[in-house]
Structure 1
Amino acid sequence: MQTTTDLTKAGRPTEEALRRYREQGFVHFTSVLPADEVAVFRAAADRLLAEEGPQTWGASEEQAQVHYVEAAWRKHPDLRRLALHPAVTGLAESLAGGPLRLYGTDVLKKEPRVHLPTVVHDDEPGLPLAGLTRTLTAWIPLLDVPADRGCLVYVPGSHRRPAEHRQVHLAGFQDYRPMEEIWPEFPFSPRVAVPMRAGDVVFHDFRTVHMAAANTDGERRLAFAAVYMDSDATYRPGVQDHPVAHLEPGAPVDGELFPLIAVGPGGAS
């Protein structure tokens, strides 16, 4: 289990944490956000879920894997503050090793004994972006997520599998192929479950294979996810591209809707 010793006094990843992220494709930091801030973010997420009428990830409500509200950072000021929180963005940019922009955020809810396991996937094919090399996701629990509450499960080192074993792009959902079909070694690959406390953050590379089991606990799972993309990413038409569909193919994904993250003393802009 990783501990806060993975952070330097300045709140950046230690060399050991950086090494683990490069090798495994994910890293879990504990106690990144204090409890009082998490309580504010949790209240904002609850309010957004109540107001928005969350969307369903799955073929139907009966096959729902999770309920979510997308673009959450644009819909509530406290969730904007979370998406651009310097404690989170500083870690993201250190792990990525280069400048990043905020691409998108979701509030994610997985109810007990209701939602199905989350399909095995990596984030690359679902991002309508080109020119990606360091894009990553921050997954932040707003309530504790013990192992039986649908915690994330990763396949260590899967981000380094060769291109022929990745589905790099989805032009449409009809092109989706199961992971074991794309990557024959997947069924034999080790998995690592990552139970987390509220206020922890786990980061994973956009090519890291991951999933989540069903929530068999008596309490809901509530989390916030933020995708930070290469600062010079461009638009490539594909699935879930409505946030960028106003752009011409090949155009830079930038501007106020996709802000550069700032990690200096002034925090994020």
Structure 2
Amino acid sequence: MASPRELTTPATLTEESVRRYREDGFVHVPRLLSPEEVSVYRAAAESILERDMEVWAGGDDGAAVEVNYTTQVWRKDETLRRLALHPALTGIAGRLAGVPLRLYSSEVLVKEPEGAPPTLLHDDEAGLPMDGLEQTLTAWIALVDVPVERGCLSYIPGSHLRADSERLRHMTSFEQFREPDEVWPDFPWRPRVTVPLRAGDVAFHHCRTLHWAGGNETDARRVGHGVIYMDAGTTYLPGVMDEYLAHMEPGQPLDDAELFPIVTS
């Protein structure tokens, strides 16, 4: 049995974990970061939230706040840049995807204590202003303990493998969002898996995997860092939240080495 202090690395990640990720569309990787690393990255996350925090409001009236966040933190903070480019994180992402990857974005995500509501069920593909997302994936890094009551993520196993006709493939406005059961007839009968995380654990999921997060019913803040690694050949497809890409031409590769660095080859 592995020591509690032993970290998971690209070399020690099991083939069973890779298989589960490719079949289920998500996998829990324990102990990717040491407690010392978690402390450093959490402090950086808390600091950037104080300087630059946005609020995502759910519902048409904006009354129900789902999550507080800061976008593109890897470009705004050197410590969080190191986290997004952490060799264990990128190496494991590369093993799971099995293709060359670039860093697309990273954000700090927060659920405030005692009442932050759930995050809606969705997949990431429809909200990404990109084309060519066959193996694009998100690494959700827990910077605090995230038990079920604090708003951990849940997933629909195998949902990344559903047919094109059963997915909301792309949005150019949030008004186009549709609930999964509107486009995937089998959705109501699919199992759900909830994945609580300890600080330093990471949950990876494919961009087409349906997932959501519960509300935060505890007295402590939920803090995580979400990093998106995209297929190296991804191109720009005008969509939602693409203001910083809008100067590009549709179909133009996202291959700027400074803005979208290669992380695995």
Cα distance in structure 2, aligned partners of 1:202 and 1:159: 15
1:141–1:223: 8 Å Cα contact kept in structure 2?
A: yes
SS at match of 1:148: helix
Q: Indicate the SS of the match to 1:248.
A: coil
Query: Does the 8 Å contact 2:55/2:65 carry over to 1?
Result: no
User: Structure 1 CA distance, aligned partners of 2:65 and 2:8?
Assistant: 40
Q: Which amino acid aligns with 1:221?
A: R
1:138–1:227 CA contact under 8 A, matched in 2: yes
Change (3 A) 1:9 1:253: closer
Preserved contact between residue 25 and residue 205 of structure 1 (Cα < 8 Å): yes
Q: Any gaps of 5 or more consecutive residues in structure 1?
A: 264-269
TM-score, scaled to structure 2: 0.93
* Partner residue in 2 for 1:259: 261
User: What does residue 102 of structure 1 align with?
Assistant: 103
What CA RMSD, in Å, does the superposition of the two structures yield over aligned residues? 1.9
Moved beyond 4 Å, runs of 4+: 7-10
Look up the match of 2:212: 211
The residue number in structure 2 matching 1:158 is 159
Instruction: Identify the residue that residue 58 of structure 1 maps to in structure 2.
Output: 58
Matches within 5 A, 1:221-240: 221-240=222-241
Q: Tell whether the 8 Å contact from 2:57 to 2:67 is kept in structure 1 after alignment.
A: yes
- 8 Å contact 2:137–2:204 — kept in the other structure? yes
* Alpha-carbon shift at residue 89 of structure 1 (Å): 0.2
* Contact residue 235 and residue 251 of structure 1 kept, 8 A: yes
After alignment, is 63-72 or 170-179 more displaced? 170-179
CA distance in 1, matches of 2:232, 2:73: 20
Write the distance in 2 (CA, Å) between the matches of 1:137 and 1:9: 17
- For the residues of structure 2 that align with 1:186 and 1:218, how far apart are their CA atoms? 33
Q: Percent identity?
A: 51
1-side partners of 2:150 and 2:242: how far apart?
Answer: 30
Aligned 1:163-178 pairs, distance under 5 A: 163-178=164-179
Structure 2 stretches of 5 or more lacking a match?
none
Aligned partner of 2:139 in structure 1 is 138
How many residue pairs get matched?
260
Deviation at 1:64, TM superposition (A): 1.1
Partner SS state of residue 68, structure 2: strand
Distance in structure 1 (CA, Å) of the matches to 2:216 and 2:116: 7
